[in-house]
A and B are shown apart, each in its own frame.
Chain A
Amino acid sequence: MKVTEKDVTYVADLANLELSEQERTRMVRDLNSILGHVDSLNELDTTNVPPMAQVSDRFGLDDSRQGSARFAYASRDDIHEGLRKSLPHDVVLANAPDSDGTFFKVPKVIEK
């Protein structure tokens, strides 16, 4: 068993999940089953293989460019208000579970 109940509690904490007792037990089982399968990746020697975080820096219009240089067309001048205006305040707040009309309201952040 790679993943213990303690690991699940720790990871749930990082992920801002609580998980019920039942969910934790199930999670230990499922994560171990999946990670057991994932171990096959260790059959591959990848010492000299660069990691690939995304596709776009390798493929596109201009093959002579690599990485962020490929996205030169996506950049813009740093001008006030940017290329477009933000959504109006009331529209942004319309989906808020709780707001005072100006801000999103949440429970007290700093407790004594």
Chain B
Amino acid sequence: MDLRNLTIDAARSAVAEGKTTATALAESYFAKIESDDPKIGAYLMLSKERALTKAGEVDALAKKGEKLPPLAGVPVGIKDVLVTKGVRTTAGSKILSNYIPPYDCTAVARLESAGAVVLGKLNCDEFAMGSSNENSAYKPVHNPRDLSRVPGGSSGGSAAAVAADMAVATLGSDTGGSIRQPASFCGVLGLKPTYGRVSRYGLIAFASSLDNIGPFAKTAKDAAIMLRTIAGRDPMDSTSAEVPVPDYVSEVDKPVKGMKVGVAKEYFGEGLEPETRAAIEAAIQKLAKLGCEIVDVSLPHTKYAIPAYYLVATAEASSNLARFDGVRYGHRAKAVRSLSDMYRRSRDEGFGAEVKRRIMLGTYALSAGYYDAYYLKAQRVRTLLTNDFIEAFKKVDVIVGPTSPTPAFKLGEKVDDPLAMYLADIYTVTANLAGIPGISIPVGNSKESLPIGMQIFGKHFDEATILRLAHAYEKAA
């Protein structure tokens, strides 16, 4: 079976119609991963036993001629910050190098209940902190479109696996752009849902008020199927919202004529590479041709998003990562002198440089004398950034712009300059601060054949509209 461009429906139908079996399909993906992944580095761990057990169950159902669930036999990959019962989960960190979770993440359990076959765990920046995947404690991920370049981060493995046909679709997490930016760098779709749309139960926490789980896929319809499967209230996460989940899959086919598409000038300012700008402008022209009404909007506080984000995110991270202390799970330093010596040395040995940097920045921002000036200030600016979107969405249905100011950069290019790395998140962190959904879709290539992504923001809990526009663009392109 040709794995290139294989979609969820095509894979499921092939299994349902007996053209292949879920087991054979899983085996072809494992063969593909074994041949291609050594040069890409997307997977940290394969879960063959679990995958083949699930595939066997699907095949038994198919053999009996029973109606198959929506993801029956569909091979998927899971970012290694989502816990999987009995399958090692590291969050890309040495501190969890031996961690075998005793439970499953809700989103993963829901995919499997819908028949999906989990191939393995995907590489990422340590604790999802990074924009290039170079902070993985295990190995970097190479961009399948150009191996000398980064795949983006932090969900670099999730994006690369879909781009290199090493999974039909994958799950990632997005705290400041970690789904959308790698999707744009690798030329696939990546969706960050509304905060509260998808349960975070089983997501190893980075910044709890900003973290989201979401899908990577090759088509808008596949992203819709993935979201429909994982979305909805979960009693295990009290912030998962009790808001009805629409049938995203039937919604994508609705017309987009007359849809009001906002364009914010603040997303086309200094720092945006001319080629990327041209590709986004051309994509906006295509939306106009589809009958969308293009409307100018303003998001005036955009330039304050990065400083506000990096204070809020690191403050929350410093608190969340306090649990890694060498007591209940994870790495414990040897030959320690005392309890406090054990905490310190376990954390010193277990955490990488970027994680320590963020814990330090967050602890500083929360410390006595600096709390008001930094943390509280950032929270007030977060209100302003959110109000920007609320105001703009009074005039438009969606807002579009670039996902990243540049296409994928070279491995090593920004690794020594944390601030430069942070500034590259300028167009994505806003959605996390405001809690709105956003999707990145491929809209073209640079002269060097590097993918360029366009981002579509929607109103709170209105993923249906951004998926509909993504689908219409895809059909027209």
Q: A interface vs B, CB < 8 Å? A: 3, 7-8, 10-12, 14-20, 23, 26-27, 30-31, 33-35, 37-44, 46, 49-56, 58-61, 71, 73-74, 83, 87, 91-92, 94-98, 104, 106-109, 111
B381 part of interface (Cβ distance < 8 Å): yes
- Asked if B378 contacts A87 (CB within 8 A), the reply is no
Closest chain-B Cβ to A16's Cβ sits at a distance in Å of 5
23 A–B pairs (Cβ distance < 8 Å), ordered by A: A16-B343, A18-B348, A27-B357, A30-B419, A31-B361, A34-B361, A40-B307, A42-B377, A44-B301, A44-B304, A46-B381, A49-B384, A51-B382, A51-B383, A56-B241, A58-B435, A71-B239, A74-B235, A87-B102, A92-B102, A96-B328, A107-B342, A108-B339
- Asked if B348 contacts A111 (CB within 8 A), the reply is no
Which residue from A23, A38, A71, A98 sits with its C-beta under 8 Å from B307? Answer: A38
B15 part of interface (Cβ distance < 8 Å): no
- Asked if A56 contacts B196 (CB within 8 A), the reply is yes
B356 part of interface (Cβ distance < 8 Å): yes
Interface residues of A: mostly helix, strand, loop or mixed?
loop
Chain B residues, CB < 8 A from A38: 307, 310-311, 374
Interface size class, chain B: 35 or more
- Asked if A106 contacts B339 (CB within 8 A), the reply is yes
Chain A residues, CB < 8 A from B318: 15
Interface residues of B: mostly helix, strand, loop or mixed?
helix
Closest chain-A Cβ to B380's Cβ sits at a distance in Å of 4
Give complex CA distance A65, B64 in Å. 50
> Within residues 324 to 375 of chain B, which ones have a CB less than 8 A from any CB in chain A?
325-332, 336-345, 347-348, 351, 353, 356-357, 359-361, 363-364, 367, 374
Give complex CA distance A18, B348 in Å. 6
- Asked if B386 contacts A58 (CB within 8 A), the reply is yes
Chain B residues, CB < 8 A from A49: 380-381, 383-384
Chain A residues, CB < 8 A from B339: 106-109
Closest chain-B Cβ to A23's Cβ sits at a distance in Å of 7
Chain A residues, CB < 8 A from B340: 16
Given A23-B356, A59-B461, residue A34 in contact with residue B344 (CB < 8 A): no
Closest chain-A Cβ to B471's Cβ sits at a distance in Å of 25
Task: Write the chain A residue with the least CB distance to B417.
Answer: A33
Chain A residues, CB < 8 A from B102: 87, 91-92, 94-95
Q: B interface vs A, CB < 8 Å? A: 98-100, 102-103, 194-196, 208-209, 233, 235, 238-239, 241-243, 301, 303-304, 306-308, 310-311, 318, 322, 325-332, 336-345, 347-348, 351, 353, 356-357, 359-361, 363-364, 367, 374, 376-384, 386, 418-419, 422-423, 434-435, 460-461
Task: Write the chain A residue with the least CB distance to B378.
Answer: A41
Which residue from B235, B328, B351, B360 sits with its C-beta under 8 Å from A8? Answer: B360
Which residue from B235, B322, B377 sits with its C-beta under 8 Å from A46? Answer: B377
Q: Pick the 6 closest A-B CB pairs, nearest first.
A: A55-B435, A51-B379, A97-B332, A95-B329, A46-B380, A74-B238
Give complex CA distance A73, B235 in Å. 9
Which residue from A52, A55, A61, A98 sits with its C-beta under 8 Å from B242? Answer: A61
- Asked if A106 contacts B383 (CB within 8 A), the reply is no
Closest chain-B Cβ to A82's Cβ sits at a distance in Å of 11
Give complex CA distance A44, B66 in Å. 61
Give complex CA distance A35, B367 in Å. 14
Give complex CA distance A91, B145 in Å. 43
- Asked if A61 contacts B381 (CB within 8 A), the reply is no
Closest chain-A Cβ to B329's Cβ sits at a distance in Å of 4
Closest chain-A Cβ to B460's Cβ sits at a distance in Å of 4
Which residue from A41, A51, A95, A106 sits with its C-beta under 8 Å from B342? Answer: A106
- Asked if B307 contacts A52 (CB within 8 A), the reply is no
Given A44-B381, A55-B196, A108-B339, residue A34 in contact with residue B419 (CB < 8 A): yes
Give complex CA distance A20, B311 in Å. 24
Q: A27-B357, A61-B241 are in contact. List 10 more A-B contacts (CB 8 A).
A: A14-B363, A30-B357, A49-B384, A52-B382, A56-B195, A60-B241, A60-B242, A60-B243, A104-B328, A109-B339
- Asked if A17 contacts B304 (CB within 8 A), the reply is no
Give complex CA distance A74, B303 in Å. 36
Chain B residues, CB < 8 A from A96: 327-329
Chain B residues, CB < 8 A from A44: 301, 304, 380-381, 384
Closest chain-B Cβ to A13's Cβ sits at a distance in Å of 9
